[in-house]
Amino acid sequence: MGLSRTFGWLEVDRIAEALADAHPGIDPLTVRFVELRNLVRSLPGFAEEPGHPVNEKILEAIQSSWRGERLDREDDEG
């Protein structure tokens, strides 16, 4: 996957990886959806796509994937 291209709300795993890179000290389960939406929108390369708005289901999937990514990284380090 080329990191130079933009990505949108439907690329949950890519968003989770980018959030884990950008915010390694944040526990994803403590982030409210409004804050999560803003964190995603501020990621380099993120671009909202017309016709693909964010909703609670997508934010839940991002939060879950981000948590999994964070746990995987902790396992790799430990």
pLDDT, position 12: 97
Of residues 52 and 28, the one with the higher pLDDT is 28
**Domains detected in the chain:** 12-77 (1.10.10.600)
Could you please report the per-residue DSSP string of 6-73?
-B-TT-HHHHHHHHHHH-TT--GGG--HHHHHHHHHTSTTB-PPTT----HHHHHHHHHHHHHHHHHH
- Calculate mean pLDDT across residues 15-39: 97
Which band of pLDDT confidence, cut at 50, 70 and 90, is reported for residue 1? very low
Contact criterion met (CB below 8 Å) for 19 and 66: yes
